[in-house]
Structure 1
Amino acid sequence: MTSPAPKAARPLGLAACIALVMGNMIGTGVFLLPAALAPYGWNAVAGWIITISGALALAWVIARLTVRLPQAKGPPAMIAQAFGPWAGFAIGWTYWISIITSNVTIAVAVVANLTPLIPMLGQTPAVGVGAALAILWSVTLLNLRGAQVAGSLQLVTLILKLVPMVVVVVLIAAALGNGSAVIAPFPAEGLAAPAVTASAALTLWALLGFESASAAADKVGDPTRIIPRATIIGTAATGAIYLFVCSGIALLLPMAEAQSASPFAAFVTRYWAPGPASLIALFASISCLGALNGWTLLQGEVPLAMARNGELPGWIGVTDARGTPVRALILSSVFATLLLIANSLQGLVAIFTAMALLATSATLWLYLGCAAAALHFRVAIPAAILGLVYALWTLWGAGPSVSGLSLVLMLMGFPLFWWTRRRTSRLPPAQFPEDAAV
């Protein structure tokens, strides 16, 4: 057991943690989801309710586990306390992979959202991939300046990314108030279970990240008080925004417009003017950039916690004077770079789709483990049961190929864990630096 990070290295307060949760959740998915959900109509509304309910149940589970296990630095450590170090490593390793994969996905999404403004980015794969790599490393360099800088940027980008959401909310209220909009009728045959299931699966990617405050526990001041509040507030607020905005666009726009490449822009054009709609691409890119910043913070914190717990080689856990996990951040971005280059021939859309599916499936193992840990400790039992059922259902819904791949990637980490434990058992404790400067 190691001592917590020094006070100077714990700069994240309640506002920054809420921004981290909401900023990581509001990212690449929301600006395209209305187009994907439009064919499902009211079934998509039911899908949103199921997904938000599952996310809130799991968020409550993580919040209560944070209070029950105050010494655990993040969800993988909670799982380790419940089921042993091998289980904790398996979930932590898979979650680290999901974060790296998410960052590739988000960097690609930033570039994809800029293609209406800079067409060359989408016309030449090499240019688009190069731009994604430049964005990925720019955000990494910013995070190397410390969690306080990253947290400040997260607050700013959250405010900016909420601008188009607020605009759409105002337009929906105005259109319904003056009678200029007609809501799509509820289907006479009622809701269809397959359509509800399909739409719920689509919404899952947009809600990943509610565990972000807990995953950055070592950078949070007073974590047992702040993390539960930030987790619940951030998840509930994001879910409410998504439900109202995405459902409103899908139900108030004609099907052809709702299924356009930019449904937010189509909605603003119809109910306001084309000029403001042209700015949607810029705000979508800012939204993705904010999400990338938050996930980059976590891509350093997760391996840092694992290294301090003796699950990864100790050199990964070395930090600078600000408590920044420099080596973990750089190593994660190197892996992300290799992953992006390996998929560079597929094009932006294909890369985004493949990486988003893998990241979603890999993250589900974390949610499954947290629900099981809560049941083990008899914490928030009703929510844990709901969360467990939801995680199993969505893991199955992700498909055997994707979920199977995430399981294979989990198993691939075990030799490294075995080697690390064998090596550390032969070394004196003094050889494992905790906050040494680099």
Structure 2
Amino acid sequence: MQKKMNLMQLTFIVAVNMMGSGIIMLPANMAQVGGISLLSWIVTALGSMAIAYGFAQAGLLNQRAGGMAAYSEEAYGKSGYFLTFFLYFLSLAIGNVAIAISAVGYLSSFIPWLSSTPISTCIGVIALVWITSAANFGGPSITGKIGSITVWGVIIPVGLLSFLGWFWFSGETFSAAWDPHGLGAAHGMGSSISLTLWAFLGMESAAQNSDAVENPKRDVPLACMFGTLGAGVVYVLSTTVIQGIVPNAELAESNAPFALAYAQVFNPVVGQIIMALAVMACVGSLLGWQFTIAMTAKSAAEGRMFPAFFCRLNGMGAPVMGMVVLGVVQTLLALSTISPTLSEQFSALVNLAVVTNVIPYIIALSALFVMMKAAGVTGSKYQLNTVVTVVAMLYSVYALYASGKDAVLGGMLVTALCFLIWGFIAPRFTGPRTASVMAA
């Protein structure tokens, strides 16, 4: 028999999928609000754990391919499947551009021209998008090997700073950074919810891998919770300690916050090494996600929800045509979100990615009630699942609100476009109906 994952291995996968490159620009963005933004980690951690638990339960009741889209289909049919899939698919494309911006931010320390003007930054982002797309033409084996190595370029420096950085932590520096703009707890926390939720995206990955786990009924929910909690601890520690090492004004203006922290703790050479590791991690992460999103489009095309050309593979198993089309889409996203600074462009993309991610979360989680009824779940288990799922959905609604009117407007426009597209696709999934003619 093929050996399957145990609880520890699955928990590690969840934590790594969440951490990736999502944390790498966050300290600079959160510093623009101040240390008070750290309060959002508490709300986001609790909400994310509730979401992770909901997906874990849904994954046990529905193990069909498609993940969240398959869950949504249980309650909303094929239209729910398409809406969830399409929005989640777009969120991945938006997230790829945000990852490219993180890489450009750290690269600009070596190539200052990249951050000299918004146009030069955009050129750098678009170049990275196309370089990583073209690198995937060699097929999945190369992509997988590179990704499994480069992810440590983020995990190691962030993890070390989370625990060793406290030796250089200054309470005075942290206090000065707490609420520099006088926002207050509620406003300061709400201003950072979308940023912190961005770092937790990927929490649903345990449920997606339930068929490869030794004891899914026990291990999937536990891995979701432990993985989310573990990543949350690292996030809170790293973003807190860096606020006590680097003065807030410097941190808010930095294109490479973790490199800046290491440079202050040790010396500029160490900072340069951290920059190189971060670039490596971002490029590797982007490489993997470019292939993942192209293969996701291929699956959708095989299900007759995307154009057939997304199915075409080259001799090495890469969906080249799909990658080219997605490269164009990401290029347009980079052009449409040009901002005066890297940090502002990153924030705009993260907010939009959260909106297009959270709507599928709400749709998929709401289907859990249908799945529980079909599976005959009753008693305390039903009550626990209901309470946790309602908390997860309420948090998701709050995250939509906290993402800001511009991101919500963008998300609603994309949702409207989704229904427009579905109108043309729907006839493929509806059988002929018999018309009844009533006599006058």
TM-score normalised per structure 2:
0.79
1:372 — aligned with what? Answer: 366
Aligned to 2:66, the other structure's residue is in SS state coil
2:83 — aligned with what? Answer: 90
2:301 — aligned with what? Answer: 307
Deviates more, 1:129-138 or 1:13-22: 13-22
Structure 1 residue 393 displacement after superposition: 0.5
Q: Give the alignment of 1:154-169 within 5 angstroms.
A: 154-169=147-162
Structure 1 residue 409 displacement after superposition: 1.0
Structure 1 residue 310 displacement after superposition: 3.4
RMSD: 3.8
Correspondent of 2:392 among 379, 384, 387: 387
Correspondent of 1:205 among 198, 204, 227: 198
1:138 — aligned with what? Answer: 131
Deviates more, 1:392-401 or 1:316-325: 316-325
1:335 — aligned with what? Answer: 329
CA distance in 1, matches of 2:71, 2:305: 14
> Conserved in 2, the CA contact under 8 Å of 1:140 and 1:330?
yes
Alignment CA distance shift 1:48-1:348 (3 Å): closer
CA distance in 1, matches of 2:363, 2:430: 27
**Match of 2:49, as an amino acid?**
L
2:185 — aligned with what? Answer: 192
> Conserved in 1, the CA contact under 8 Å of 2:361 and 2:396?
yes
CA distance in 2, matches of 1:264, 1:271: 11
1:75 — aligned with what? Answer: 68
Structure 1 residue 139 displacement after superposition: 2.1
Gaps of 5+ in 2: 373-381, 433-440
1:33 is the counterpart of 2:27: yes
Structure 1 residue 116 displacement after superposition: 1.4
**Match of 1:97, as an amino acid?**
L
Aligned to 1:279, the other structure's residue is in SS state helix
2:285 — aligned with what? Answer: 291
Deviates more, 1:130-139 or 1:363-372: 130-139
1:248 — aligned with what? Answer: 241
Aligned to 1:73, the other structure's residue is in SS state coil
Structure 1 residue 389 displacement after superposition: 0.8
CA distance in 2, matches of 1:15, 1:344: 40
1:401 is the counterpart of 2:428: no
Deviates more, 1:382-391 or 1:350-359: 350-359
Structure 1 residue 114 displacement after superposition: 0.8
2:144 — aligned with what? Answer: 151
CA distance in 1, matches of 2:192, 2:334: 28
**Match of 1:388, as an amino acid?**
M
Identity %: 23
> Conserved in 2, the CA contact under 8 Å of 1:66 and 1:214?
yes
Alignment CA distance shift 1:201-1:424 (3 Å): closer
Alignment CA distance shift 1:121-1:166 (3 Å): same
CA distance in 2, matches of 1:314, 1:14: 40
Alignment CA distance shift 1:123-1:194 (3 Å): closer
CA distance in 1, matches of 2:291, 2:207: 12
CA distance in 2, matches of 1:320, 1:297: 13
> Conserved in 2, the CA contact under 8 Å of 1:55 and 1:235?
yes
CA distance in 2, matches of 1:324, 1:233: 34
CA distance in 1, matches of 2:70, 2:311: 15
Alignment CA distance shift 1:249-1:321 (3 Å): same
1:273 — aligned with what? Answer: 267
> Conserved in 2, the CA contact under 8 Å of 1:308 and 1:317?
yes
Structure 1 residue 195 displacement after superposition: 2.4
CA distance in 1, matches of 2:270, 2:114: 23
Structure 1 residue 274 displacement after superposition: 3.1
2:418 — aligned with what? Answer: 413
Aligned to 2:202, the other structure's residue is in SS state coil
> Conserved in 2, the CA contact under 8 Å of 1:90 and 1:411?
no
CA distance in 2, matches of 1:243, 1:290: 24
Alignment CA distance shift 1:290-1:390 (3 Å): farther
Correspondent of 1:352 among 310, 332, 346: 346
Alignment CA distance shift 1:426-1:325 (3 Å): farther
Structure 1 residue 239 displacement after superposition: 1.4
CA distance in 2, matches of 1:73, 1:131: 34
Aligned to 1:117, the other structure's residue is in SS state coil
The one-character-per-residue Cα deviations of 1:316-346 (angstroms, maximum 9, x if unpaired) are 3455677654444333223212333455686
Alignment CA distance shift 1:35-1:310 (3 Å): closer
1:48 — aligned with what? Answer: 41
CA distance in 1, matches of 2:413, 2:263: 46
Aligned to 1:413, the other structure's residue is in SS state helix
CA distance in 2, matches of 1:214, 1:282: 33
The one-character-per-residue Cα deviations of 1:17-43 (angstroms, maximum 9, x if unpaired) are 9557624543254344256247543x4
CA distance in 1, matches of 2:149, 2:100: 18
> Conserved in 1, the CA contact under 8 Å of 2:98 and 2:349?
yes
CA distance in 1, matches of 2:235, 2:399: 19
1:3 — aligned with what? Answer: none
1:433 — aligned with what? Answer: none
**Match of 1:382, as an amino acid?**
V
Correspondent of 1:116 among 91, 99, 109: 109
**Match of 2:422, as an amino acid?**
F
Structure 1 residue 167 displacement after superposition: 3.2
Correspondent of 1:63 among 52, 56, 67: 56
Alignment CA distance shift 1:340-1:185 (3 Å): closer
Alignment CA distance shift 1:170-1:356 (3 Å): closer
The one-character-per-residue Cα deviations of 1:361-382 (angstroms, maximum 9, x if unpaired) are 1111122122212233237323
> Conserved in 2, the CA contact under 8 Å of 1:34 and 1:246?
no
The one-character-per-residue Cα deviations of 1:210-255 (angstroms, maximum 9, x if unpaired) are 235656x69x856984876764454333211101111122245444
> Conserved in 2, the CA contact under 8 Å of 1:60 and 1:232?
yes
> Conserved in 2, the CA contact under 8 Å of 1:212 and 1:298?
no
CA distance in 1, matches of 2:136, 2:18: 15
Aligned to 1:30, the other structure's residue is in SS state coil
Aligned to 2:24, the other structure's residue is in SS state coil
